Structures are given as structure tokens and as C-alpha cells.
Structure 1
Amino acid sequence: MMRRSVLGSPWGIGMRLDRKSTFITGGTSGIGLATAAAFLREGAHVAVTGRDNARLQSVVERLGARCKGFVADAGDDAAMAEALAAAAGTLGGLDALFVNAGHYVSATLGTTSRADVEAQMKVVANMFMAVQSALPHLREGASVVLMGSVYAIMGPPGAGGYAASKAACRALARSMASELAPRSIRVNVVVPGAVDTPGWPHHQMEANERDRQKRAIGERALINRMVTDTEVANAVLFLASDESSGLNASEIVIDGGTTGALAGSPRYLRGEP
């Protein structure tokens, strides 16, 4: 017979985030939503932010009683600080912060305005301010996870602003990790590759073209497919848990081997770009 602990987990092992209080920016879709679901599955209390109240409330209702929602745009410092304070007040402090909210602005040389570049770089400022606003509420030993991207090292054409913002995220995490070390707060970066989420344009395509695009993108990875939002969420879960206590100022790459061993990918082996 399977043994269960008082926490309800098999073999007497507690859930990985049991009774921990967590906060996710941009938690109403894609990786943020998948991470909220993963945190809840592992016993956490979760607060998520979103810009659209109706969508936010729908998500919170679907995720259940241990999830709270707060309307806050990542670029609205006052709203984000208020949401963090309210969540921490309800949850009694924060054990994990996932700074996930962001956006992509196309930035091709010769066609991009200063406003577009500044809008993209604002993502880094938003990350900085979210962590700063969370400082009074983060418990000793808390985990901060920033959202990175393989674009920081891949050099994709037309994505200079986005790539630069994600490269800045890597540097930001290292400096923050140094500053927060006296409080035993760890800061790490999760680095996804091509993730099959609604954020990708192919989700608006006709079915056959969408499948073709997904196959073409996925064939750049050793696993011969795009990564799922759940796979990225599992990495964030690990970083938020005590299992990753030895990781600080580090990065976890979830790209199916795209950047690690491109030469073994199906498209490369066929001699295709």
C-alpha cells in the first residue's frame, strides 16, 4: 500500500513548495500561467499579476483558492509595488518571485524608432523595479527568478532590442545576486528557447501553416520540436524550490539543445538554415 504523509504526498515526501508564498508577474498566459499551475501543484500559495482584470479573474477562478490575482502592468511601478505589498500582506511575506512579464518589439536596423528601442529596454527597468519593490517582502532565503532568452546569445537578425534586453537581464541577475547574498536570497535566470505559447505568431495562422512553422522551428533543436510552457515552468519550479539551494547567479537553459549542440539538430544535418 502506498504510504502518505500528513501532507498528502506519497512515500512520506512533502510537496516541493509546501506552504511557500510565491509571486509571478504576467501570470495569465503562457509560461507565467504554466508556472502558476506548477507552483500550486507543489503546494504553494500563488499571487499573479495581469493587465486585463476580466482575464485575470478568469485565471484565478480556474486555478483555485490558493491563487490570488492583482491587476498591475509591469511598467506601472506604483501598481506593481501595491500588488506586491498586498500579496505579501495576505500571504505573510514572499518565498519566491518570478519576474516573467515582458514583451517583444521588432527592431530591424534602418527601420526602428528610438521609441521602439526604449520600449524594449524598458523590460529590464521593469524587472529591476519589480525586484526592488519586492525587497521588503522577500523572506530570508527567498528565490528570485528572472525571465531570460536564448536570443541573448544567438544574435538573431531584427531582434537587436529584445536580444540586448535579455543580455542585460543576465548581467542584472548577477549583480542582484551579489547584493542580496547577505540575506541568503538567490537570483537566477531561466532561459527558454522557442516555446510553443500564444505569444508566437503561428498561433494566429491557419492550421496547416501553423503546423509547418512549428515543425520548422522545432527542427532547430535536438529534441526535434518546440519546448512547452510546462517544461519551462518545471525549471522555474526547481529554481524556486529548496532543491536548487546551491544555485545562485546561474542560468538554466530550456531550449531542447538548440544553443548547446546546434550541429546535431535535424535542420543543420540537412544543411538548411
Structure 2
Amino acid sequence: MDFTNTSYIIMGGTSGMGLAAALALQKHGANLVVVGRDDESMPLAKQKLGTIAVVLAGDATDPVTIEKAILQAHDKFGSITGLFHVAGGSGRKFGDGPLHEMTLDGWNKTFEINLTGMMLSNQAMVRYFLQQKKSGMILNMGSVLGFSPSSKYFVTHAYAAAKSAVIGFSKSIASYYASNNICVNVIAPSLFETPMAQRAMEDQHIKHFLKSKQPLDGGRPGRPVDIVNAVLMLLAPDSNFITGQVLAVDGGWAISEGQYQ
């Protein structure tokens, strides 16, 4: 895949799967504007990506953040090829959980960080493509929990609803903007080694569960690098005949039963 003379914005690209994708795109010749929260991940991202990439601090749920990213990407690189929206996270600390225990704040906050932020970046990116009269690629981060629930260990109903909505939203805009040659797809990972998954990764029962729930490669959690090939394929300009699709990168999660101790 040739990413020479391409440029991408990655929302949530300073750590985990977003950073892995950024490094892979950069290795293949892409220019990058990477946006992440102003936390301990920022210096490491700047170090790994170097000065050739633009690394910005910002909140994806603030519409100013994506506007700033688009402005900087266009000014520095002349045009923008695509967007990878990774930013999101668990709403458990806000009150997400089983429906009978969930708080309204947990529901609202979970949708804000997983759906509203994505809508804002997609909206701004589509407006850019239309204004520039050019084709473009958009890839959104979903989750297998949006269509393949796990009722014992992963009970966050607002998160599942939000990630399911990511799929519906992405398919809907993919359909509407297909005639403008704007491709919109979703990648849906299972349990990966990310900061959000720290609770699960420290639970021995969940580790045992994964052996049969996502059995590929010994039944391990995913690693950020595991999404790289899927991301490269769906963001490549040559993939301009693929839209409205959901690709699970899940180690077999969605097709496996999973056994409890």
C-alpha cells in the first residue's frame, strides 16, 4: 500500500491502538496530525512520531478540537486524505453498568465520549471533503460489544449501545455520501491491551475466559499492533470501492462461545 503524499487526522492517536495506527501510517509514508488528551501519553507520542507529525492536545467532544486539527493538517500538508476516529472509552466510572444499576450521568457521559465526539469529527471531515470537492476516507472505532455482547464480565450497557450506534451512524453516512466518493467504515476490536481494559486485564477469571472467547494465537488479548493491517487497508486511497463495512478484529470473539470457570 502506497501512502505517499497522503495525510490523515487521528483522533485519539497518542496512545494504544491510535498510536499504533499512526506509527504504521507514518512508516508507509503518510503525513499525520494526531490528537490526544493532554496527559502522560503526549510526550511519548511526540517522541515516537517525531517532528514530522503534528501532535495536538484536545478533547474530541469539543467541536473546536477537530476544526483546529483540520486547519493545521490542510495548512501543513495541502490536503487531507482521511480521518481515523479512535477517541472514546469506558463510562463505568461515570455510572455505566447493568441497566438496573446504570445512572443517567453514566448513560449520557458514555454516549458523549463514544458517539458525540465521533459525530463531531466525522461531520467536520465530511464538510471539509465537500468544500474541497474531493474524495476521502473515514474510519471509526467500534467494538465487538456493539453486536456481540458478553453478559458476565463486560456489562456496560451504555457502552454497548454507543458502539452499536457507531455502526448505525457510520453505515448511514456511508450510504448518503457514497455519491461524493467519501468512504466510511468501522473497525470493531475485542478485548485489547489498552488503558481502558486495565480492569479486565488484571482479572484472572477474565483471562481464563479469553482463552476460549478469543482463541486465536493462544487465546490472548489483542495488542495495539493487531489492528494495523485492517486500518491500513480501510484508510488506503486504493480502498475507494469499500464503504459501509464493519471489520471485526477480535481474535475470534464474535464466533466463539467462551467458557467460564
Instruction: Pick the TM interval, shorter chain.
Output: 0.7 to 0.9
| Alpha-carbon distance in structure 2 between the residues aligned to 1:254 and 1:236 | 10
Unaligned 5+ residue runs, structure 1? 1-14
Q: Does the aligned pair in 1 maintain the 2:8–2:83 contact within 8 Å?
A: yes
Q: Give the SS at the match of 1:179.
A: helix
Comparing both chains, which one has the higher relative contact order based on Cα–Cα distances under 8 Å and sequence gaps of 6 or more?
2
Q: Give the SS at the match of 2:135.
A: strand
The structure whose Rg is larger is 1
Identify the residue that residue 187 of structure 1 maps to in structure 2: 184
Q: Which residues in structure 2 correspond to 1:244-255 (within 5 Å)?
A: 244-255=239-250
TM-score by length of 2: 0.86
Q: Does the aligned pair in 2 maintain the 1:22–1:45 contact within 8 Å?
A: yes
Residue 168 of structure 1 aligns with an amino acid whose one-letter code is A
| Alpha-carbon distance in structure 2 between the residues aligned to 1:78 and 1:201 | 30
The alpha-carbon deviation at position 102 of structure 1 amounts to: 0.2
Residue 240 of structure 1 aligns with an amino acid whose one-letter code is L
Residue correspondences, number: 248
Identify the residue that residue 134 of structure 1 maps to in structure 2: 125
The alpha-carbon deviation at position 202 of structure 1 amounts to: 4.7
TM-score by length of 1: 0.83
| Alpha-carbon distance in structure 2 between the residues aligned to 1:94 and 1:214 | 41
Higher helix fraction (1 or 2): 2
Identify the residue that residue 109 of structure 2 maps to in structure 1: 119
Residue 118 of structure 1 aligns with an amino acid whose one-letter code is N
Identify the residue that residue 12 of structure 1 maps to in structure 2: none
What is the CA deviation profile of residues 154-210 of structure 1, one whole-angstrom value per residue up to 9, with x for unaligned ones?
2334211000001101111111112222320100000111112232125884xxx67
Identify the residue that residue 142 of structure 2 maps to in structure 1: 148
Change (3 A) 1:88 1:105: same
What is the CA deviation profile of residues 196-232 of structure 1, one whole-angstrom value per residue up to 9, with x for unaligned ones?
2232125884xxx67x754542431231222221111
| Alpha-carbon distance in structure 2 between the residues aligned to 1:256 and 1:179 | 32
The alpha-carbon deviation at position 145 of structure 1 amounts to: 0.2
| Alpha-carbon distance in structure 2 between the residues aligned to 1:218 and 1:64 | 38
| Alpha-carbon distance in structure 2 between the residues aligned to 1:136 and 1:70 | 21
For residue 49 of structure 1, the aligned residue among 15, 24, 35 is 35
| Alpha-carbon distance in structure 2 between the residues aligned to 1:167 and 1:129 | 17
Residue 93 of structure 1 aligns with an amino acid whose one-letter code is S
Q: Give the SS at the match of 2:231.
A: helix
| Alpha-carbon distance in structure 2 between the residues aligned to 1:245 and 1:194 | 29
| Alpha-carbon distance in structure 2 between the residues aligned to 1:161 and 1:203 | 18
Change (3 A) 1:86 1:54: farther
The alpha-carbon deviation at position 128 of structure 1 amounts to: 1.0
Unaligned 5+ residue runs, structure 2? none
| Alpha-carbon distance in structure 2 between the residues aligned to 1:243 and 1:133 | 23
Q: Does the aligned pair in 2 maintain the 1:189–1:251 contact within 8 Å?
A: yes
Q: Give the SS at the match of 2:187.
A: strand
Identify the residue that residue 98 of structure 1 maps to in structure 2: 84
The alpha-carbon deviation at position 53 of structure 1 amounts to: 6.1
Identity over aligned pairs, percent: 26
Identify the residue that residue 6 of structure 2 maps to in structure 1: 20
Q: Give the SS at the match of 1:97.
A: strand
Residue 200 of structure 1 aligns with an amino acid whose one-letter code is A
| Alpha-carbon distance in structure 2 between the residues aligned to 1:229 and 1:98 | 14
1:220 aligns with 2:213: yes
Q: Does the aligned pair in 2 maintain the 1:46–1:68 contact within 8 Å?
A: yes
Q: Give the SS at the match of 1:247.
A: coil
1:259 aligns with 2:254: yes
